[in-house]
Structure 1
Amino acid sequence: MTKRCEWCGDDPLYRSYHDHEWGVPIHDDRRLFEFLILEGAQAGLSWLTILKKRENYRKAFHNFDCERIASYTEADVARLLADSGIVRNRLKIASAIKNARAVLGIQAEFGSLDAYLWRYVDGLPQQNAWPSLAEVPVKTALSDMLSKDLKQRGCNFVGSTICYAFMQAVGMVNDHTLDCFRYEAVKALSRQ
Protein backbone atom coordinates (compact mmCIF):
# COMPACT_ATOMS: atom_id res chain seq x y z
CA MET A 1 0.00 0.00 0.00
CA THR A 2 1.31 3.46 -0.95
CA LYS A 3 2.07 5.59 2.11
CA ARG A 4 1.07 9.25 1.77
CA CYS A 5 1.03 12.28 4.03
CA GLU A 6 -1.92 11.79 6.38
CA TRP A 7 -3.63 15.05 5.48
CA CYS A 8 -4.71 13.95 1.99
CA GLY A 9 -7.03 11.18 3.24
CA ASP A 10 -8.91 9.00 0.76
CA ASP A 11 -10.52 11.55 -1.58
CA PRO A 12 -9.27 10.87 -5.16
CA LEU A 13 -8.95 14.59 -5.99
CA TYR A 14 -6.99 15.27 -2.81
CA ARG A 15 -4.73 12.26 -3.43
CA SER A 16 -4.07 13.33 -7.01
CA TYR A 17 -3.17 16.82 -5.83
CA HIS A 18 -0.84 15.36 -3.19
CA ASP A 19 0.75 12.88 -5.58
CA HIS A 20 1.34 15.21 -8.53
CA GLU A 21 1.36 18.84 -7.37
CA TRP A 22 1.90 19.51 -3.68
CA GLY A 23 5.49 20.43 -2.98
CA VAL A 24 6.61 20.43 -6.60
CA PRO A 25 8.58 23.64 -7.22
CA ILE A 26 6.67 26.17 -9.33
CA HIS A 27 8.44 28.99 -11.14
CA ASP A 28 5.65 30.19 -13.42
CA ASP A 29 4.25 33.58 -12.36
CA ARG A 30 0.69 32.79 -13.39
CA ARG A 31 0.63 29.55 -11.40
CA LEU A 32 2.29 31.20 -8.41
CA PHE A 33 -0.34 33.93 -8.50
CA GLU A 34 -3.07 31.29 -8.79
CA PHE A 35 -1.86 29.56 -5.64
CA LEU A 36 -1.55 32.88 -3.80
CA ILE A 37 -5.20 33.65 -4.57
CA LEU A 38 -6.46 30.12 -3.89
CA GLU A 39 -4.63 29.86 -0.56
CA GLY A 40 -6.27 33.13 0.49
CA ALA A 41 -9.66 31.88 -0.67
CA GLN A 42 -9.15 28.78 1.45
CA ALA A 43 -8.94 30.77 4.71
CA GLY A 44 -11.50 29.23 7.08
CA LEU A 45 -12.32 26.42 4.64
CA SER A 46 -10.77 23.10 3.71
CA TRP A 47 -8.25 22.90 0.87
CA LEU A 48 -10.40 20.16 -0.65
CA THR A 49 -13.26 22.68 -0.98
CA ILE A 50 -10.95 24.95 -2.99
CA LEU A 51 -9.58 22.08 -5.10
CA LYS A 52 -13.13 21.18 -6.09
CA LYS A 53 -13.69 24.80 -7.17
CA ARG A 54 -10.30 25.36 -8.81
CA GLU A 55 -11.47 25.00 -12.41
CA ASN A 56 -14.33 27.38 -11.68
CA TYR A 57 -11.83 29.85 -10.23
CA ARG A 58 -9.71 29.60 -13.37
CA LYS A 59 -12.72 30.46 -15.52
CA ALA A 60 -14.10 33.16 -13.23
CA PHE A 61 -10.70 34.86 -12.78
CA HIS A 62 -9.62 34.70 -16.44
CA ASN A 63 -7.08 31.93 -15.81
CA PHE A 64 -5.41 34.09 -13.17
CA ASP A 65 -4.26 36.73 -15.63
CA CYS A 66 -2.82 39.19 -13.13
CA GLU A 67 -3.07 42.25 -15.40
CA ARG A 68 -6.67 41.54 -16.25
CA ILE A 69 -7.66 40.92 -12.62
CA ALA A 70 -5.89 44.12 -11.54
CA SER A 71 -8.23 46.05 -13.84
CA TYR A 72 -11.45 44.47 -12.51
CA THR A 73 -14.27 46.89 -11.78
CA GLU A 74 -17.33 46.76 -9.53
CA ALA A 75 -19.12 45.00 -12.38
CA ASP A 76 -16.55 42.20 -12.15
CA VAL A 77 -17.00 42.03 -8.39
CA ALA A 78 -20.76 41.70 -8.89
CA ARG A 79 -20.19 38.97 -11.50
CA LEU A 80 -17.94 37.06 -9.12
CA LEU A 81 -20.33 37.42 -6.19
CA ALA A 82 -23.02 35.82 -8.36
CA ASP A 83 -20.78 32.90 -9.40
CA SER A 84 -21.72 29.82 -7.36
CA GLY A 85 -18.63 28.00 -8.64
CA ILE A 86 -16.31 30.00 -6.39
CA VAL A 87 -16.29 31.11 -2.76
CA ARG A 88 -18.61 34.12 -2.87
CA ASN A 89 -17.02 36.21 -0.19
CA ARG A 90 -16.74 39.91 -0.97
CA LEU A 91 -13.56 40.35 1.10
CA LYS A 92 -11.81 37.43 -0.62
CA ILE A 93 -12.84 38.65 -4.06
CA ALA A 94 -11.65 42.18 -3.29
CA SER A 95 -8.44 40.68 -1.95
CA ALA A 96 -7.78 38.84 -5.23
CA ILE A 97 -8.05 42.14 -7.11
CA LYS A 98 -5.90 43.99 -4.59
CA ASN A 99 -3.32 41.20 -4.64
CA ALA A 100 -3.19 41.29 -8.45
CA ARG A 101 -2.34 44.98 -8.29
CA ALA A 102 0.32 44.33 -5.65
CA VAL A 103 1.81 41.49 -7.73
CA LEU A 104 2.12 43.82 -10.72
CA GLY A 105 4.21 46.09 -8.49
CA ILE A 106 6.31 43.12 -7.34
CA GLN A 107 6.89 42.07 -10.96
CA ALA A 108 7.93 45.61 -11.88
CA GLU A 109 10.40 45.73 -8.99
CA PHE A 110 11.85 42.20 -9.11
CA GLY A 111 11.26 41.22 -12.73
CA SER A 112 8.88 38.41 -11.77
CA LEU A 113 6.81 37.08 -8.92
CA ASP A 114 9.03 34.01 -9.11
CA ALA A 115 12.21 36.03 -8.46
CA TYR A 116 10.56 37.83 -5.55
CA LEU A 117 9.26 34.68 -3.84
CA TRP A 118 12.13 32.28 -4.37
CA ARG A 119 14.71 34.70 -2.95
CA TYR A 120 13.21 33.84 0.45
CA VAL A 121 14.71 30.34 0.12
CA ASP A 122 17.78 31.34 -1.92
CA GLY A 123 16.24 29.77 -5.02
CA LEU A 124 16.18 26.23 -3.59
CA PRO A 125 13.40 24.42 -1.75
CA GLN A 126 13.96 23.95 1.95
CA GLN A 127 14.16 20.25 2.70
CA ASN A 128 12.43 19.42 5.95
CA ALA A 129 12.41 15.96 7.52
CA TRP A 130 9.23 15.54 9.54
CA PRO A 131 8.59 12.04 10.93
CA SER A 132 4.88 12.78 11.33
CA LEU A 133 2.18 15.27 10.38
CA ALA A 134 1.96 16.38 14.02
CA GLU A 135 5.46 17.87 13.73
CA VAL A 136 4.83 19.92 10.58
CA PRO A 137 4.47 23.58 11.58
CA VAL A 138 1.59 25.75 10.43
CA LYS A 139 3.91 28.76 10.13
CA THR A 140 7.59 29.59 10.48
CA ALA A 141 9.82 32.62 10.90
CA LEU A 142 10.23 32.60 7.11
CA SER A 143 6.47 32.61 6.48
CA ASP A 144 6.21 35.42 9.05
CA MET A 145 8.69 37.46 7.01
CA LEU A 146 6.94 36.74 3.70
CA SER A 147 3.56 37.60 5.20
CA LYS A 148 4.81 40.89 6.62
CA ASP A 149 6.42 41.90 3.34
CA LEU A 150 3.39 40.96 1.22
CA LYS A 151 1.16 42.98 3.53
CA GLN A 152 3.49 45.98 3.27
CA ARG A 153 3.22 45.66 -0.53
CA GLY A 154 -0.58 45.82 -0.33
CA CYS A 155 -1.66 42.17 -0.26
CA ASN A 156 -4.55 40.79 1.81
CA PHE A 157 -5.32 37.27 3.04
CA VAL A 158 -1.61 36.59 3.34
CA GLY A 159 -1.20 35.85 7.03
CA SER A 160 1.74 33.72 8.08
CA THR A 161 -0.29 30.47 8.11
CA ILE A 162 -1.60 31.15 4.60
CA CYS A 163 1.92 32.02 3.45
CA TYR A 164 3.31 28.79 4.86
CA ALA A 165 0.60 26.72 3.16
CA PHE A 166 1.46 28.59 -0.05
CA MET A 167 5.17 27.84 0.40
CA GLN A 168 4.36 24.15 0.87
CA ALA A 169 2.06 24.05 -2.14
CA VAL A 170 4.48 25.72 -4.57
CA GLY A 171 7.49 23.70 -3.42
CA MET A 172 9.43 26.39 -1.57
CA VAL A 173 9.52 23.89 1.29
CA ASN A 174 9.29 20.10 1.16
CA ASP A 175 6.95 19.12 3.97
CA HIS A 176 6.06 15.64 2.80
CA THR A 177 6.60 13.45 5.83
CA LEU A 178 9.55 11.07 5.80
CA ASP A 179 7.30 8.02 5.40
CA CYS A 180 5.47 9.51 2.40
CA PHE A 181 6.30 8.02 -1.00
CA ARG A 182 6.62 11.56 -2.44
CA TYR A 183 9.26 12.76 0.05
CA GLU A 184 12.33 11.54 -1.84
CA ALA A 185 10.87 12.31 -5.28
CA VAL A 186 10.13 15.93 -4.29
CA LYS A 187 13.52 16.21 -2.57
CA ALA A 188 15.22 15.10 -5.79
CA LEU A 189 13.52 17.95 -7.68
CA SER A 190 15.58 20.48 -5.72
CA ARG A 191 18.76 19.01 -7.18
CA GLN A 192 17.66 19.47 -10.79
Structure 2
Amino acid sequence: MTIKKENITRCQWAGNDELYIKYHDEEWGVPLYDDDKLFEFLILEGFQAGLSWITILRKRESFRKAFDNFEALKIVKYDAQKVEELMQDAGIIRNRLKIEGTITNARIFLEIQQEYGSFREYIWQFVGGQPIVNQRSSLGSVPARTDISDAMSKTLKKRGFKFIGTTICYAFMQATGMVNDHIVNCICYNR
Protein backbone atom coordinates (compact mmCIF):
# COMPACT_ATOMS: atom_id res chain seq x y z
CA MET A 1 0.00 0.00 0.00
CA THR A 2 1.27 3.46 -0.84
CA ILE A 3 0.39 7.03 -0.08
CA LYS A 4 -0.16 9.43 -2.93
CA LYS A 5 0.43 13.11 -2.39
CA GLU A 6 0.35 15.47 -5.33
CA ASN A 7 0.45 12.44 -7.66
CA ILE A 8 3.62 11.19 -6.00
CA THR A 9 3.77 7.61 -4.79
CA ARG A 10 5.96 6.82 -1.81
CA CYS A 11 6.50 3.85 0.46
CA GLN A 12 3.57 3.68 2.87
CA TRP A 13 5.72 3.99 5.98
CA ALA A 14 6.67 7.59 5.06
CA GLY A 15 3.14 8.62 6.02
CA ASN A 16 2.23 12.31 6.15
CA ASP A 17 4.82 13.59 8.61
CA GLU A 18 7.04 16.10 6.77
CA LEU A 19 10.16 14.97 8.65
CA TYR A 20 9.48 11.35 7.73
CA ILE A 21 8.77 12.26 4.10
CA LYS A 22 12.02 14.26 3.88
CA TYR A 23 13.95 11.35 5.40
CA HIS A 24 12.31 8.89 3.00
CA ASP A 25 12.88 11.05 -0.06
CA GLU A 26 16.42 12.23 0.68
CA GLU A 27 18.16 9.67 2.89
CA TRP A 28 16.57 6.24 3.28
CA GLY A 29 18.01 3.79 0.83
CA VAL A 30 20.66 6.14 -0.55
CA PRO A 31 24.01 4.31 -0.61
CA LEU A 32 26.14 5.77 2.17
CA TYR A 33 29.92 5.41 2.23
CA ASP A 34 31.03 8.03 4.75
CA ASP A 35 32.40 6.34 7.87
CA ASP A 36 31.09 8.97 10.30
CA LYS A 37 27.57 8.79 8.84
CA LEU A 38 27.66 4.99 8.83
CA PHE A 39 28.62 5.07 12.51
CA GLU A 40 25.83 7.55 13.26
CA PHE A 41 23.22 5.29 11.64
CA LEU A 42 24.57 2.22 13.41
CA ILE A 43 24.25 3.97 16.77
CA LEU A 44 20.85 5.50 16.05
CA GLU A 45 19.47 2.16 14.88
CA GLY A 46 20.58 0.68 18.20
CA PHE A 47 18.86 3.46 20.13
CA GLN A 48 15.73 2.91 18.05
CA ALA A 49 15.33 -0.68 19.28
CA GLY A 50 11.92 -0.88 20.91
CA LEU A 51 10.88 2.55 19.64
CA SER A 52 9.66 4.04 16.39
CA TRP A 53 12.13 5.52 13.90
CA ILE A 54 10.23 8.82 13.87
CA THR A 55 11.08 9.17 17.58
CA ILE A 56 14.77 8.93 16.69
CA LEU A 57 14.43 11.32 13.74
CA ARG A 58 12.83 13.92 15.99
CA LYS A 59 15.71 13.58 18.44
CA ARG A 60 18.52 13.21 15.89
CA GLU A 61 19.87 16.75 16.25
CA SER A 62 19.91 16.35 20.03
CA PHE A 63 21.73 13.04 19.61
CA ARG A 64 24.30 14.70 17.36
CA LYS A 65 24.91 17.43 19.91
CA ALA A 66 25.01 15.04 22.88
CA PHE A 67 27.35 12.56 21.14
CA ASP A 68 29.78 15.06 19.59
CA ASN A 69 28.39 14.57 16.07
CA PHE A 70 29.08 10.86 16.45
CA GLU A 71 32.85 11.35 16.31
CA ALA A 72 34.04 7.96 17.51
CA LEU A 73 37.42 9.37 18.61
CA LYS A 74 35.60 11.61 21.10
CA ILE A 75 32.98 9.07 22.18
CA VAL A 76 35.57 6.43 23.02
CA LYS A 77 36.93 8.82 25.68
CA TYR A 78 33.60 9.22 27.51
CA ASP A 79 33.85 8.46 31.21
CA ALA A 80 31.33 7.76 33.98
CA GLN A 81 30.70 11.49 34.45
CA LYS A 82 29.85 11.89 30.77
CA VAL A 83 27.50 8.91 30.95
CA GLU A 84 25.70 10.56 33.88
CA GLU A 85 25.51 13.81 31.92
CA LEU A 86 23.93 11.96 29.00
CA MET A 87 21.48 10.25 31.35
CA GLN A 88 20.18 13.72 32.26
CA ASP A 89 19.78 14.87 28.64
CA ALA A 90 16.04 14.87 27.87
CA GLY A 91 16.82 15.43 24.18
CA ILE A 92 18.02 11.83 23.70
CA ILE A 93 16.87 8.35 24.69
CA ARG A 94 18.16 8.02 28.24
CA ASN A 95 18.98 4.36 28.37
CA ARG A 96 22.18 3.63 30.29
CA LEU A 97 22.90 0.35 28.49
CA LYS A 98 22.52 1.99 25.08
CA ILE A 99 24.69 4.93 26.10
CA GLU A 100 27.41 2.65 27.46
CA GLY A 101 27.00 0.45 24.37
CA THR A 102 27.69 3.48 22.19
CA ILE A 103 31.06 3.94 23.91
CA THR A 104 31.89 0.26 23.39
CA ASN A 105 30.76 0.45 19.76
CA ALA A 106 32.93 3.52 19.16
CA ARG A 107 36.00 1.58 20.32
CA ILE A 108 35.22 -1.38 18.07
CA PHE A 109 34.36 0.92 15.16
CA LEU A 110 37.83 2.50 15.47
CA GLU A 111 39.45 -0.95 15.63
CA ILE A 112 37.67 -1.93 12.41
CA GLN A 113 38.78 1.30 10.72
CA GLN A 114 42.35 0.52 11.72
CA GLU A 115 42.13 -3.06 10.49
CA TYR A 116 40.33 -2.40 7.18
CA GLY A 117 41.38 1.15 6.38
CA SER A 118 37.78 2.31 6.74
CA PHE A 119 34.56 1.09 8.26
CA ARG A 120 32.99 1.39 4.80
CA GLU A 121 35.33 -1.28 3.41
CA TYR A 122 34.37 -3.60 6.24
CA ILE A 123 30.60 -3.11 6.35
CA TRP A 124 29.93 -3.03 2.60
CA GLN A 125 31.62 -6.41 2.16
CA PHE A 126 28.44 -7.99 3.53
CA VAL A 127 26.68 -7.05 0.26
CA GLY A 128 29.68 -7.52 -2.01
CA GLY A 129 30.32 -3.78 -2.21
CA GLN A 130 27.13 -3.11 -4.18
CA PRO A 131 23.57 -2.29 -3.06
CA ILE A 132 21.10 -5.14 -3.25
CA VAL A 133 18.14 -3.92 -5.28
CA ASN A 134 14.99 -5.71 -4.22
CA GLN A 135 11.68 -5.63 -6.04
CA ARG A 136 9.16 -5.16 -3.26
CA SER A 137 5.56 -4.61 -4.29
CA SER A 138 4.23 -3.73 -0.85
CA LEU A 139 5.34 -2.88 2.66
CA GLY A 140 4.20 -6.34 3.72
CA SER A 141 6.79 -7.97 1.47
CA VAL A 142 9.72 -6.27 3.26
CA PRO A 143 11.37 -8.61 5.77
CA ALA A 144 12.62 -7.62 9.21
CA ARG A 145 15.83 -9.61 8.71
CA THR A 146 17.70 -11.60 6.09
CA ASP A 147 20.52 -14.13 6.00
CA ILE A 148 22.89 -11.22 5.32
CA SER A 149 21.69 -9.23 8.33
CA ASP A 150 21.98 -12.42 10.40
CA ALA A 151 25.62 -12.78 9.31
CA MET A 152 26.35 -9.08 9.91
CA SER A 153 24.81 -9.22 13.38
CA LYS A 154 26.67 -12.39 14.32
CA THR A 155 30.00 -11.01 13.12
CA LEU A 156 29.57 -7.62 14.80
CA LYS A 157 28.46 -9.27 18.06
CA LYS A 158 31.53 -11.50 17.95
CA ARG A 159 33.65 -8.34 17.71
CA GLY A 160 31.86 -7.00 20.80
CA PHE A 161 29.30 -4.58 19.36
CA LYS A 162 26.24 -3.89 21.51
CA PHE A 163 22.63 -3.44 20.36
CA ILE A 164 23.33 -5.01 17.00
CA GLY A 165 20.73 -7.72 16.48
CA THR A 166 19.73 -8.91 13.04
CA THR A 167 16.67 -6.61 12.85
CA ILE A 168 18.83 -3.61 13.74
CA CYS A 169 21.37 -4.69 11.11
CA TYR A 170 18.70 -4.98 8.44
CA ALA A 171 17.25 -1.56 9.31
CA PHE A 172 20.80 -0.19 9.11
CA MET A 173 21.27 -1.81 5.70
CA GLN A 174 18.03 -0.25 4.47
CA ALA A 175 18.82 3.19 5.87
CA THR A 176 22.32 3.29 4.40
CA GLY A 177 21.35 1.99 0.98
CA MET A 178 23.06 -1.37 1.30
CA VAL A 179 19.66 -2.66 0.22
CA ASN A 180 17.00 -0.86 -1.77
CA ASP A 181 13.68 -1.76 -0.18
CA HIS A 182 11.65 1.07 -1.67
CA ILE A 183 8.55 -0.44 -3.24
CA VAL A 184 8.84 -0.62 -7.02
CA ASN A 185 6.34 2.17 -7.71
CA CYS A 186 7.87 4.56 -5.16
CA ILE A 187 9.43 7.75 -6.56
CA CYS A 188 12.71 6.75 -4.90
CA TYR A 189 12.96 3.21 -6.25
CA ASN A 190 14.94 4.04 -9.39
CA ARG A 191 16.92 6.87 -7.82
Q: CA deviation at 1:108?
A: 1.1
Q: What is the identity, as a one-letter code, of the residue corresponding to 1:30?
A: D
Matched, 1:16 2:3: no
| Mapping for residues 78-97 of structure 1, pairs under 5 Å | 78-97=84-103
* Structure 1 unaligned regions, length at least 5: 186-192
Aligned-partner Cα distance in 1 for 2:41–2:69: 12
| Mapping for residues 1-192 of structure 1, pairs under 5 Å | 1-185=7-191
Q: What is the aligned partner in structure 1 of residue 3 from structure 2? A: none
Give runs of ≥4 in structure 1 deviating > 2 Å. Answer: none
Q: What is the identity, as a one-letter code, of the residue corresponding to 1:177?
A: I
Aligned-partner Cα distance in 1 for 2:39–2:53: 16
TM-score w.r.t. structure 1 length? 0.95
Structure with more strand by fraction = 2
Q: CA deviation at 1:13?
A: 0.1
Q: What is the aligned partner in structure 1 of residue 4 from structure 2? A: none
Aligned-partner Cα distance in 2 for 1:53–1:10: 18
In angstroms, what is the RMSD of aligned CA positions?
Answer: 0.5
Q: CA deviation at 1:123?
A: 1.0
Aligned-partner Cα distance in 1 for 2:122–2:36: 14
- Post-superposition Cα deviations, 1:94-151, rounded to whole Å, max 9, x if no partner, equal 1111100110111111111100001111111000001111000100000000000110
Paired residue secondary structure (1:15): helix
- Post-superposition Cα deviations, 1:56-89, rounded to whole Å, max 9, x if no partner, equal 0000000000011011100110110000000000
Aligned-partner Cα distance in 2 for 1:96–1:73: 12
Q: What is the identity, as a one-letter code, of the residue corresponding to 1:132?
A: S
- Post-superposition Cα deviations, 1:30-80, rounded to whole Å, max 9, x if no partner, equal 000000000000000000000000000000000000011011100110110
Aligned-partner Cα distance in 2 for 1:113–1:66: 12
Paired residues in the alignment total 185
TM-score w.r.t. structure 2 length? 0.96
